[in-house]
Amino acid sequence: MIGPGTEADLPRIVEILNYTAANSHATFATRPTTVAERRDWFERFSSTGPYRLFVARRGNMVLGYACSQSYRDHEAFRETVEVSIALDVSCRGQGVGSSLYRALFDCLADEPVHVGLAGIAMPNDASVALHRKFGFTEVGTFRDYAVKNGQYISSLWMQRLFTNC
């Protein structure tokens, strides 16, 4: 089931983020985070407007989330959102990510959003394929611009234009 994220989902979201940070470079986080540290992040989302958080649940278990958030704080970017997604390792490749993005993008279709951006740490063929499936196209790569665990990381940036603005 896909639905809006609630504060009760934060502990499980933090678990997913911490696992991903410790076991991959899909996130640039280099240390575990806490529920308290993620609370400000959570409070930026709402049930209306362009900044949304959706979670996938199986029963009471959060399987992952997808969100849209501010790209930058400049007024010029008011119609631009950055999207991201994170899934529990046990449910990847099972359509959960597609269900989350479908819910998020259906919601954004009624909002003043002109473009969605996604930065993907490379390599990550599954994430690139998911974004392409939802109409994202490649716009460029930041090469070797981050360092995690002594390894340089590049990010592919993709964008999707929305037609509602």
Per-residue confidence (pLDDT) for residue 93, from 0 to 100: 87
Residue 1 has pLDDT above 70, yes or no: yes
User: Which domains are seen in the chain, by residue range?
Assistant: 2-117 (3.40.630.30)
Average pLDDT of 131-141?
Answer: 98
Predicted confidence (pLDDT) per residue in 50-93, tens digit: 999 999 999 989 999 999 999 999 999 999 999 999 999 999 88
H/E stretch holding 95 reads none
Residue 165 has pLDDT above 70, yes or no: no
Cβ(24)–Cβ(120) under 8 Å?
Answer: no
Per-residue confidence (pLDDT) for residue 143, from 0 to 100: 97
Both structure tokens of 146: 């981050």
Q: What is the mean pLDDT of the chain?
A: 95
Residue 98 has pLDDT above 80, yes or no: yes
- What is the dihedral sign for C-alpha 19, 145, 157, 46? positive
Beta-bridge partner residues of 84: 67
Regarding predicted confidence, which is higher, 127 or 93?
127
Q: Give the whole-angstrom CA distance, residue 144 versus residue 4.
A: 35
Per-residue confidence (pLDDT) for residue 78, from 0 to 100: 96
Q: Give the whole-angstrom CA distance, residue 27 versus residue 8.
A: 23
